[in-house]
């Protein structure tokens, strides 16, 4: 059952409904967003909040995409490494002479 949670972003309170199990993540996300928006706003207290929010969202989306790319590259490397290890292991189990020289 959803519960209301109040988060504060750029000195404004927002009431958000979320599951109790998601409360901690929501509060953490709101804190991160607040920090990013404050950084973007800097000393300009007159900056439009919608513009600040869009810039923060774009920055966070960009970081997410970069993180996904890094994760994808790591997964590909892991797949290649596991494939090589499996081929070597298959060779050892089959008793081929070449596999004996390429011991794991």
Query: Distance between CA atoms of 13 and 15, rounded to whole angstroms?
Result: 7
Give the tens place of pLDDT for each residue, 76-89: 999 999 999 999 99
Q: What is the pLDDT of residues 22-46, one digit of tens each?
A: 999 999 999 999 999 999 999 888 8
Burial of 59 (0-12, 13-18, 19+ CB in 10 A): middle
pLDDT at 99: 47
pTM over 0.85: no
Cβ-defined contacts of 6-12 (< 8 Å, 24+): 8/34, 9/33, 9/34, 9/37, 10/34, 10/37, 10/38, 10/41, 10/49, 10/52, 12/49
**HSE-up (13 A, CA, CB side) for residue 71:** 6
């Amino acid at each position: 059952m959803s519960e209301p949670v109040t988060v504060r972003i750029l000195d404004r309170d927002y009431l958000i409904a979320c599951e109790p199990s998601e409360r901690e993540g929501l509060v953490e996300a709101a804190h991160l967003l607040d920090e990013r928006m404050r950084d973007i706003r800097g000393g300009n207290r007159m900056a439009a909040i919608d513009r600040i929010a869009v810039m923060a969202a774009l920055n966070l989306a960009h970081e997410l995409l970069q993180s996904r790319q890094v994760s994808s590259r790591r997964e590909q490397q892991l797949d290649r490494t596991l494939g090589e290890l499996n081929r070597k292991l298959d060779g050892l189990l089959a008793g081929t002479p070449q596999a004996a020289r390429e011991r794991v």
